[in-house]
Structure 1
Amino acid sequence: MRPAHPRVVLGLHRSRYQRSLLTNALDLGIDAIDTSFNYRGFTAHETLVRVAGDVLPHLMLSTKVGYFPGPSASEHSLDPARLRAALEQTNRDLGRPPDLVFLHNPEASLADATEGSADALARAFALLADATAQGLCRAWGVASWNPRPLAALTLHRAPQPSVLMVRAGLLVGSDTLTADEALAMRWELAQEALWGMSPFGGSVHDPVWKAVDPRLFLQDPTGGLTRLQAAFRTAYCLPRVSTLAVGSDNPAHLRQLLNAVDCEVNDVVVQQYRGLLRDRARRQRA
């Protein structure tokens, strides 16, 4: 089977939420954005409509629910009533149903791999499936920063998500990659349904990107890409995803990343690296 062509989604986690950011992305060929109910102090949706309401109809919009305002800080919950209320508010704020809604980091409310945790997750899944059927969103999925607790749970007769978004890239550990792949297999998700996020581990300024040369993972390490471009392209393989959500307020940076997606990755080197990660994880557990 031919792998999906790498796709880029503009992530808005730390964005300035300016109209020009979205129009520049469209000009570059990026036609999807990813935000969340809790971003920008729980004002992300209404801010998007206020600053770029005329642009949003041209974009596929994904968002997330799971975090809520608390007494002193945001708090996580899998309570179906709160998730439903967040979806309803999302529809009101956006003026339309989002194209995709992720259950945001469900592991944050899972204490352990118990039947109670499995039941709580199953109820949240059922709520999102019902909300999709009722038109509050067009599809639903799971976005998980740490998928290992999810992979440890066994869900019986629960609806299954249609998309899974996880951390991707050279800084993701072996156990996390294994959990990613276990969830994708359990939910029978093809590569086209797998999204990656945070391909630079949170910052392009991390010293690791000067100390390590990710161009070693490309078929042509001397092909003219920068280290950051190579790290971005390689992130599609760790784990294997079809889509990467990446945030940037800099059109030139986005253009550089887009210029990297057609480069070929050396799968042999990627598998060798996975082996090194597994060996390191075993030593840490020993």
Structure 2
Amino acid sequence: MRPADPGVVLGLYRSRYERDLLEGALRLGVHRIDTSYNYLGFAAHRTLAQRAGDLLPDLSISTKVGFFLTGTGHSEHSLDPQRLRQAVEKTAEELGVPPDVMFLHNPEHTLTHLEPEQASDVLAAANAELEAAVASGLCASWGIASWNPRPLLPAIKGPRDAPAPQVFMARAGLIVSSRTLDAIEAAAALWDLSPDQRWGMSPFAGHSTDRVWDQVNARAFLPDESSCSNLAAAFRASYELPKVSRVAIGTNHLGHLRELLQAAQLPASEAAIASYRTLLATSSSNRQPV
């Protein structure tokens, strides 16, 4: 029997999509993976099915749609419902199994160029398309994944006026600014989402080997500072900044994944997290605009 899922999602953004990694993750009890329609040069889903198709029924897959390949070989973002529908259908076909979560990928890329009223209508139409995909059995649930949720706020309608995501994934961790944390929490409140419906991603901003993780004392966020490495402590803190139930982390090394898995199960210091949020907010308010 697999051990209880501690809320770790194996992100495949920079992954080599190797079967050994997925088999090892399953052995460790990490059975959630996150990918996207446009990862691996728009070949992520097809590669997963080719290399580990027999493992996919044992994995809980989340993926994303929103970026599309143009005729010139470049990538472009679109919230056009028809293009989203085609991408969702192709995703289910290539994977061979319906994903558990289908995320609308970084909708701010399109919405930031629109007036608030138009942005609201465009986002509502895109959300309705993903909700229809759930009803059609193409995915089990749908959500929104946003790198910068601030442009989303003027476009969000209340749950009574437009379909609301079932899952919201955004950046998490010590590297996230106070303004972004506030925007994440504001969006979740507008959609009436609980912490169980909120996921974090990119807790190390994509660079776990950066020197900053050797210099900051992340262990201060744990009651027992000696129980794990500094990097693992920073990962544990990401579940609190903002409050999320799962964190997607990318790695190609099972030893690293095992360490983070163990860290995710440690208690965090609520007092230290609260003090940090206050310090972060104060620092942000005192910073001069540029």
TM-score normalised over the length of structure 2: 0.94
Whole-angstrom CA distance in 2 between matches of 1:74 and 1:83: 14
Deviation at 1:72, TM superposition (A): 4.5
Deviates more, 1:175-184 or 1:110-119: 110-119
Whole-angstrom CA distance in 2 between matches of 1:92 and 1:99: 14
Deviation at 1:152, TM superposition (A): 2.7
5 Å matches for 1:139-158?
139-155=141-157, 157-158=161-162
Whole-angstrom CA distance in 1 between matches of 2:96 and 2:250: 24
Give 2:74's aligned amino acid. A
Deviation at 1:65, TM superposition (A): 0.2
**Match in the other structure for 1:67:** 67
Whole-angstrom CA distance in 2 between matches of 1:222 and 1:17: 34
Whole-angstrom CA distance in 2 between matches of 1:280 and 1:210: 22
Q: 2:222 aligns with which of 218, 227, 241?
A: 218
Is residue 199–residue 245 contact of structure 2 (8 Å, CA) maintained in 1? yes
Is residue 113–residue 152 contact of structure 1 (8 Å, CA) maintained in 2? no
Whole-angstrom CA distance in 2 between matches of 1:158 and 1:148: 19
Deviation at 1:86, TM superposition (A): 0.3
Q: Is there any run of 5+ residues in structure 2 with no aligned partner, and where?
A: none
5 Å matches for 1:32-181?
32-70=32-70, 71-110=72-111, 111-112=113-114, 114-155=116-157, 157-181=161-185
Q: How many residues align?
A: 281
Is residue 6–residue 236 contact of structure 1 (8 Å, CA) maintained in 2? no
Closer/same/farther in 2, CA of residues 28 and 219 from structure 1, 3 Å limit: same
Closer/same/farther in 2, CA of residues 176 and 113 from structure 1, 3 Å limit: farther
**Match in the other structure for 1:270:** 273
Runs of 4+ displaced beyond 6 Å: none
**Match in the other structure for 2:202:** 198
The alignment-based identity, stated in percent, is 51
Whole-angstrom CA distance in 2 between matches of 1:260 and 1:195: 17
Deviation at 1:207, TM superposition (A): 1.5
Whole-angstrom CA distance in 2 between matches of 1:240 and 1:6: 15
Whole-angstrom CA distance in 1 between matches of 2:174 and 2:10: 20
Deviations 1:96-139 (A, max 9, x none): 21111000000000125510111111110111111111111110
Is residue 218–residue 266 contact of structure 1 (8 Å, CA) maintained in 2? yes
SS of the aligned residue for 1:165 comes to strand
**Match in the other structure for 1:253:** 256
Deviates more, 1:246-255 or 1:259-268: 259-268
CA RMSD of aligned residues (A): 1.3
Q: Is there any run of 5+ residues in structure 1 with no aligned partner, and where?
A: none
Whole-angstrom CA distance in 2 between matches of 1:107 and 1:284: 25
Residue 232 of structure 2 is aligned to residue 229 of structure 1: yes
Deviation at 1:11, TM superposition (A): 0.5
SS of the aligned residue for 1:260 comes to helix
Closer/same/farther in 2, CA of residues 138 and 180 from structure 1, 3 Å limit: same
Whole-angstrom CA distance in 1 between matches of 2:285 and 2:147: 21
TM-score normalised over the length of structure 1: 0.95
Whole-angstrom CA distance in 2 between matches of 1:208 and 1:276: 18
Is residue 69–residue 75 contact of structure 1 (8 Å, CA) maintained in 2? yes
Give 1:24's aligned amino acid. G
Closer/same/farther in 2, CA of residues 154 and 259 from structure 1, 3 Å limit: closer
